[in-house]
Structure 1
Amino acid sequence: MDERIEELDHCDLSGIHPESIQQAKEKMPKEEHLLDLADFFRIFGDSTRVKIVCALLSTELCVCDIAELLEISQSAISHQLRVLKQARLVKARRAGKVIYYSLDDEHIEAILSLGLTHIKEK
């Protein structure tokens, strides 16, 4: 890392920009929302879950279809779908004996799209 940048990362003084501190404090979300947000993004920390979400971008799929598409066992897919469902990223619809999964709402697609756009900028 550039030594000049390292020097800027450390302040010898504290609180020298009270207006900036106040502005940041006013925009800071509540602590409980920050914790929920951290948990939400932690869900995307597993590549299998991200693959499942990507698979569900175009259509709803059952566990068997997702397992075949991703070449992962049905039990592993079921486990990850439970995590995604608990986090309200996917929803389930029963049709007879088959349960179909889809994204919970359009926000999930937007979040994934923004993340991919950011990654592709590099």
Structure 2
Amino acid sequence: MRGEPNITILAETFRLLGDPTRLKVMCACLEKPMPVAEIARSIDASPSLVSHHLRLLRAARLVRGERRNRQVFYGADDDHVRRMLTDMLAHADEVDVSGDDHGEAAPRI
């Protein structure tokens, strides 16, 4: 098992991604880097709310900003982050609508 600091960082990462709006912001940044206004439109949220979530995601090294002229474009920080999210999205797609997967009940949280 990895060291305790890594477990703490991973737990914090999953806690951050546990917020539905923040997760939508993250998913919007997966395909291509986008400015705040475009992210806000794509997830139907206010630019100020998106900026708040981006600040938290940047601090956790999940997204990075790149200045282009007068705008900052946000995208996944690296391929590890991108793969983690796309793999989890694919995993979520495997569970059928009834919540039953492979004959086993889905765990309740």
> Shorter chain as normaliser: what TM range?
0.7 to 0.9
Within 5 Å, give how 1:80-119 maps onto structure 2: 80-119=53-92
Query: Which protein has the bigger strand share?
Result: 2
Could you say what secondary structure the match of 1:56 adopts? helix
- Identify the residue that residue 40 of structure 1 maps to in structure 2: 13
Q: Distance in 1 between matches of 2:73 and 2:15?
A: 24
Task: Report the CA distance between 1:107 and its aligned residue.
Answer: 0.8
Structure 1 ranges of 4+ moved more than 4 A? none
Q: TM-score, normalised by structure 2?
A: 0.81
Percent pairwise identity:
39
Q: Count matched residues.
A: 95
Q: Structure 1 residue 67 and structure 2 residue 40: aligned?
A: yes
- Residue-by-residue CA offset, 1:73-105 (whole Å, 9 max, x unaligned): 110000000011001011111122211111110
Could you say what secondary structure the match of 1:29 adopts? coil
Task: Report the CA distance between 1:53 and its aligned residue.
Answer: 1.5
Structure 2 letter corresponding to 1:110: R
Unaligned residue ranges in structure 2 (runs of 5+)? 96-109
Larger Rg: 1
Task: Report the CA distance between 1:121 and its aligned residue.
Answer: 2.3
Task: Report the CA distance between 1:37 and its aligned residue.
Answer: 1.2
Q: Distance in 2 between matches of 1:63 and 1:83?
A: 14
RMSD across aligned C-alpha pairs, in angstroms? 1.1
Q: TM-score, normalised by structure 1?
A: 0.73
Within 5 Å, give how 1:4-23 maps onto structure 2: none
